[in-house]
Structure 1
Amino acid sequence: MKNLRLTLSLLILGICGANLSAQEITSFSGMWGEKFYQDKEPLTWKEIDAIMKENQASALHWQKSKKNMVGALIAGTANFGSAIWLISNLDDNEPLTGPIIAVAGTGIISSIFFHSATKNKKMAILEYNDSLGKKTSLYLTPTSNENGVGLALKF
């Protein structure tokens, strides 16, 4: 009878352990932007966007990252335009003070937005990965005492 209980306990523990395993997301910098993976499988932007919406905290950081990236794109475009303005003033022998200030200012603003977008993207992934271990508030843990070996519910 004890062997049957032990076998059933180990079987239930194995099934619960297999169900509780979650797949974390990893991010690597690539030549054309970041690459996202889930258990060695690459994720598309649509897949990662859908995954991030599963958790409220990660969705918040993910949305902030998207907004900051749009800001970086707008400031980068303005930086490109001010660089053309600077080159045009160099060719025409016009004053360079305004274009230099514009290039520096838009470059700094663009880099601040880009850094913030990257930071929020990392935070979204970390929040998602942290939430994987906290899906349930009770756990089955193996236990043994004077009455025998079994499983205990921990809250």
Structure 2
Amino acid sequence: MKVGDLGLIGLGVMGANLALNFERNGYVVAVYNRKEGEGQDVVSRFMEENGKNKNFIPAATIGELVDKVSRPRKIVLMVTAGDPVDELVDQLLPHLSLGDIVIDGGNSDFRDTDRRVRFMESRGIWFVGCGISGGAEGALNGPSIMPGGSVEAWP
């Protein structure tokens, strides 16, 4: 079974283009879309349009996505800031292990990021807030990223 270098949740324009960028630069990317009822259709469409002879691994559930990523796991969230991030954190936690890293690639308020860092660190999981700018073109060809969060998450 192929194992991903990282997992990416959220295959909207930014998430899909970031996944393509990661794959083009040599990473195996497990992909999942969070919206119930639409999620699997979005993943299937992404794979049909982009997956042929590429290093993408589709996942139908969050648990499946996590299982398909090598440890320590790196899971990138490309979803709308706010409640969707908190909901995904709650859904991810039962599947994560000590030392795994969750990266919020959205435009979260720094106070929310600080709260999530403390919450995740108390469970042995590292959290990084990493705003990504440059729009769809930047995500595909070279985004500007602004990371911050758990010091332990850095190599």
TM-score, normalisation: structure 2? 0.19
The structure with the larger Rg is 1
TM-score, normalisation: structure 1? 0.19
